Structure 1
């Protein structure tokens, strides 16, 4: 009787030096591409995928395994990819129906020279939440506010700090933001669960920012009463002249917020926001927001022609196709992460870091520091979420922590600290639009550097840690959980 030989050559164990070489090449290509040639991170990321695959072949993995690992990586991010696509449709729809212009218009009305810094913080927060983009907010609202700050006699670095803090708060908390969707995708949870868990540390930090900028504004209040606020008036007039502004148009974002509170899954919750805007649009905007206009804006985005450059730059946005930048980068990053995870190149690196970590608090701290290091060495905000997210996802699970603990840690550092690195794409962009160097505005961008500190601090109290059931690891929350289990 013939015995069939089922033996197959197995890949050997991955050495630390091999994994480090893969990461070193990725970091090098990212640095050269982004810093020197000013290219988008996609092709450097794809080169990283090639290097990871070649290293996997060298270690002994066959091509079928490597290809499957890439597909598995993409599969893990499919929910986030779908949500990103739907959000692109939502942004385009919300602009053409007047929802986003209404949110921005009312945000502008709260401006008062005597509380300029606090108003700048809130205006940029509202704009960033409405659009899901910190860059768009800083390049439009931020630019106008910097001009007003000059007239008020407020130092440019202080004004920039308020603008940046508000823009990144909105970017971090907006369900329309790509980073807000990317972080839970890397961790393995949904966007609404992620936002809800972020609320406590983020709002505490934001309240501190409000107090800080209110205090800072006192010294400029007396000289600011007669300041020229014509730039804000021009923007308000541009919005009201091109759109029918009505408080009822705030209903779609309220519906999405209620959906979050009612624990409706992300995809149907966002779709409700689209449908409600589609109903209200024709009522308030008439033929400018008919079915054809909404379908076109949902696909290709909205092109603003108000005649006000700041408004047109901000509202020329949205659409499924415009979201392809984030979607394609997510796919490439997950291909890289899938190879690194399956071939255990990721594991050997993580294991070295985790030798220093014995507790969940230490793990959160390590995650925050890794995100900062990623923003510094691979200077792109998205990569600082993707790479640490895939590095530590398994470890969070092994420690019995809910994935939202990881997603909160990723956004608490990866999203916001990018603005504090001069050679990061975010730092370079801020310098180009606000005209203030990182060294000048960093002391006043308190939301950005206080946020990771707050996450670490609250992890030690248990408020930024959640067990596998999603219950915070505070004494009171755990006591209630035990009581319910006892009753059961």
Structure 2
């Protein structure tokens, strides 16, 4: 028990929040963000600062002093340090891939291979395969996603639609890949094996993926006549050739290194760092750029020099500095989540609900809903996955439902929704990397909200529960 700030010898009693207090604190945060963002247009960073003050006041009412409150915020940030490391590396990867000609080569050859009619379908499949192979949705969006945004824009396909497709594919692998951190975390937290967890998710994720694929196929038909005129394609390709040496094997080597190391189960940090080093060597030794220029561009990438404005802006993305907006937002969201978690506000809000759950359907639906609420309140799927596994595990076991169904439901709430909320680490990252606001691409991230709905529908029908106990 921490002493009160008024004196070292005056211990203060720490209270746990009631369900009503938890609802008031959590609801106040949501109201601050919703009103500030959608009604008054206040900066999201400032709104999160207001939420920190609001939650800090409520924590103080429970008896926590400022050092304790600061400790809660610090713990929230420390739990997500791996995500923060990847934040910084992604900015470096994007800039390095721009400098090495990797992105330019993918655009150059992609314009020959992809047609507007099949672009969305092909993009979804490619992003899904890459995210399964690498286990990182951020790495997929930051590399292949950036390329697809460039090609889709050149083909006249609306960028929110393209971004929605990228988020669907990136999330697919993040949820199912055996090398994904969230996949492993959910299995571990729920007390099931990794591959039983993945097998359980296939019941609901495959139908959602097939439906998403069909929707993108239908939407792609609208753009069948959007093929760029030959002259425009040639102009873009010639502009790329004038700025880069585009030997396919050489320019794709950084990407191949990252994929190979990921498949060999090296950590994301190691795979990304190796690809950055290879890309820097290619940029200097093969593309002929100054080593000093290349290294400085890793900090703050400069626009391209092809002469085509939109293409130059795309080729100028990336760099560690480009992640500063996202990183600052994430740190504030994680600090807020740490307070809500450690002071027990979210637990108080949910435990009363869990005690009232009687049917399997309500249990699955509530676990998914709690994942969405957790992301909205704590800004990070990692914390939500751990918390919800702890909160709901006993209820699943009492009903005789396999822990793999718990882990699946936790992911369908937490992993699938994190990229659809502007102030989560994933939402902020996608918006910054793809250049499309979360609320703009949200309607087109079909997989992310079809998957939870299909999961609830299957629970209603008693399908895929991996249990000998019949549904109530």
What do the CA deviations read for 1:1-42 (whole angstroms, capped 9, x no partner)?
Answer: xxxx99833222312222222222211221232213434422
- In 1, the alpha carbon distance for the partners of 2:9 and 2:109 equals 70
Deviation of the 1:174 alpha carbon: 8.2
Per the normalisation by structure 1, the TM-score is: 0.69
Deviation of the 1:403 alpha carbon: 7.5
Pair 345,324 (structure 1): closer, same or farther in 2 beyond 3 Å: same
SS at match of 1:286: coil
Q: Is the 8 A contact 2:73 2:338 kept in 1?
A: yes
1:64 aligns with 2:67: yes
Residue 241 of structure 1 is matched in structure 2 by 242
Select between 7-16 and 273-282 the one with higher mean Cα deviation.
7-16
- In 2, the alpha carbon distance for the partners of 1:137 and 1:93 equals 14
Select between 32-41 and 70-79 the one with higher mean Cα deviation.
32-41
Residue 15 of structure 1 is matched in structure 2 by 18
Select between 166-175 and 322-331 the one with higher mean Cα deviation.
166-175
1:321 aligns with 2:325: no
Pair 327,390 (structure 1): closer, same or farther in 2 beyond 3 Å: farther
- In 1, the alpha carbon distance for the partners of 2:121 and 2:308 equals 25
What do the CA deviations read for 1:70-129 (whole angstroms, capped 9, x no partner)?
Answer: 111111111211121122222211111112222233332222366465457668989996
Deviation of the 1:447 alpha carbon: 3.6
Q: CA RMSD, aligned part only?
A: 5.0
- In 2, the alpha carbon distance for the partners of 1:269 and 1:405 equals 30
Q: Is the 8 A contact 2:284 2:294 kept in 1?
A: no
1:264 aligns with 2:266: yes
Residue 484 of structure 1 is matched in structure 2 by none
What do the CA deviations read for 1:202-257 (whole angstroms, capped 9, x no partner)?
Answer: 67644544445446667986xx4987465555444433332222222222222222
Residue 480 of structure 1 is matched in structure 2 by none
- Which residue, out of 415, 430, 440, partners 1:411? 415
1:47 aligns with 2:57: no
Residue 108 of structure 2 is matched in structure 1 by 105
Match runs of 1:323-472 below 5 Å: 323-356=323-356, 365-370=365-370, 383=379, 385=381, 388-389=384-385, 392=388, 394-395=390-391, 406-407=410-411, 409-416=413-420, 442=443, 446-453=446-453
Which residues of structure 2 form unaligned runs of 5+? 1-7, 132-137, 397-402
Deviation of the 1:44 alpha carbon: 0.9
Pair 35,229 (structure 1): closer, same or farther in 2 beyond 3 Å: farther
SS at match of 1:11: coil
Residue 281 of structure 1 is matched in structure 2 by 283
Residue 163 of structure 1 is matched in structure 2 by 162
Pair 286,133 (structure 1): closer, same or farther in 2 beyond 3 Å: closer
- In 2, the alpha carbon distance for the partners of 1:359 and 1:261 equals 40
- Which residue, out of 140, 152, 156, partners 1:146? 156
- In 1, the alpha carbon distance for the partners of 2:296 and 2:239 equals 23
Residue 252 of structure 2 is matched in structure 1 by 250
What do the CA deviations read for 1:410-461 (whole angstroms, capped 9, x no partner)?
Answer: 232332587xxxxx999x99xx989x999xx95x764454343456678999
Q: Is the 8 A contact 1:19 1:349 kept in 2?
A: yes
- Which residue, out of 58, 69, 78, partners 2:81? 78
SS at match of 1:285: coil
- In 2, the alpha carbon distance for the partners of 1:279 and 1:359 equals 59
Per the normalisation by structure 2, the TM-score is: 0.71
Residue 35 of structure 2 is matched in structure 1 by 32
- In 1, the alpha carbon distance for the partners of 2:40 and 2:108 equals 38
Deviation of the 1:48 alpha carbon: 0.8
- In 2, the alpha carbon distance for the partners of 1:364 and 1:309 equals 49
Deviation of the 1:262 alpha carbon: 1.7
Which residues of structure 1 form unaligned runs of 5+? 148-158, 419-423, 466-472, 476-488
Q: Is the 8 A contact 1:417 1:448 kept in 2?
A: no
Residue 135 of structure 2 is matched in structure 1 by none
Pair 229,205 (structure 1): closer, same or farther in 2 beyond 3 Å: farther
- In 2, the alpha carbon distance for the partners of 1:131 and 1:318 equals 12
SS at match of 1:8: coil
- Which residue, out of 89, 92, 104, partners 2:92? 89
Counting matched residue pairs gives: 427
- In 2, the alpha carbon distance for the partners of 1:57 and 1:233 equals 64
Q: Is the 8 A contact 2:304 2:313 kept in 1?
A: yes
